[in-house]
Amino acid sequence: MRIHKEGFRILLIALVLFGATCTLLWYFIGNVALFIALLLIIPLYIFMLRFFRVPKRRVNAYIERVLSPCDGTIVVIEEVDEPEYIRERCIQVSIFMSVWNVHINWYPIMGKVVYQKYHPGKFLVAWEPKSSTLNERTSIAVKRPDGVQILFRQIAGYLARRVVCYAKKGANAQQGQEMGFIKFGSRVDLFLPLNSTIKVSIGEKVKGTQSTIAVIPQK
């Protein structure tokens, strides 16, 4: 199992803290305390290793398809007015990422990054509708070669308190290429043109780079 680079520092600090805790418990209290601590620490560390795992996935790129930018559950499909960049009526599709999901984010379409902006904010639970506009978040827009563009937003949740974004304005975006990471429970919103054909439903589980969220016809 390969570990994501965003987990290296956290896992090292956790290993040092867990090791120090076990040593102190064994030295001052004894073997029973050490055994109890290990029963709690080992599963927790395995969970952390699993959280930062990097899955092996093959991406089948297709210009009209919008691939899922993350693993998770579809929690919102609705028409909204997108005021930040697109500034017109869109279809919003939101994906909630639990702590059990892979937390890597990938580009859902191919094209060029035409907008990227970080917004500091609150840390409401990620399934709260207001989290889309009030929480810490990063917005990224990608324009396809045919001129179609979509906006997607990485949103921090109650536990996720750091959004990492690798997208840079002007950079080329390859469909299925790693775009960022959100640490510990979060959400990703997609804002799609009204002529998109949505291929998912509320409550559906999706897999990043593998599930088709929508199809947007070429211009």
- By annotation, the residues acting in catalysis are 186
Query: How many C-beta neighbours within 10 Å does residue 6 have?
Result: 17
DSSP 40-51: HHHHHHHHHHHH
| 139 class by beta-carbon count within 10 Å (0-12 exposed, 13-18 middle, 19+ buried) | buried
Residue matched to tokens 């002007």: 170
Residue among 93, 187, 97, 99 at smallest CA distance from 136: 187
SS3 of 27, please?
A: helix
CA end-to-end distance (rounded Å), the chain: 42
Nearest to 101 by CA among 55, 161, 155: 55
In sequence order, what are the beta bridge partners of 142? 113, 150
CA R_g for the chain: 20
The helix (H) or strand (E) run that includes residue 151 is: strand 149-156
